[in-house]
Amino acid sequence: MTGRRLVTLGAATTYLVATLWVSYAVWGPYDGVEYEPAWAGELELGVALVLLHALVGALVGRWWALALPLAWIVLSLGAEGYDTPVPVLIAFTTPFYWAPAIAVGVAARKTGERIRRS
C-alpha cells in the first residue's frame, strides 16, 4: 500500500471514529434531563467538527470524501439524541456545514497540488 493510500485510509478511519464518538458519546446519550455537556459548548464543538471535516477533505484530497458524512449518518442510526435522533441532525446539517467544509479541504488540496506542479 502506498503512502498516499495509507494517509487516505487513516484520515477516513479517524474521521469515522471521531464523528461516531460525537454521535454516541456527546449527542446520543439521553438520560431524561436537559442536554448540556460540561466539557464542551455547542459553539466549540461545532467549530471543532467543521475543522475536522476540512482537514479530512484536505488529507483525502478526492471528491469521494463528500460521501463521508453519509457514512456518518448511516453508522449513527442507533444514536438517540436529546429531542431529535442524531442521524436526523447530521442529515439536516450536512449540506450547510459538513459537506462544504470537506469541499473546502479537497479544493485546497487540489489547488495546492496544481500550484506545486506548475
pLDDT digits (tens), the chain, 118 positions: 688 899 999 999 999 999 999 999 888 876 555 555 544 467 888 999 999 999 999 999 999 999 999 999 999 999 887 778 889 999 999 999 999 999 999 999 999 999 999 8
Alpha-carbon distance of 99 to 3, in angstroms, equals 25
Find the largest Cα–Cα distance for the chain: 58
Residue-range definition of the domain harbouring residue 21: 3-30+38-117
- How high is the pLDDT of residue 39? 45
The Cβ of residue 32 has, within 10 Å, a number of other Cβ atoms equal to: 5
Number of domains in the chain: 1
- How high is the pLDDT of residue 41? 63
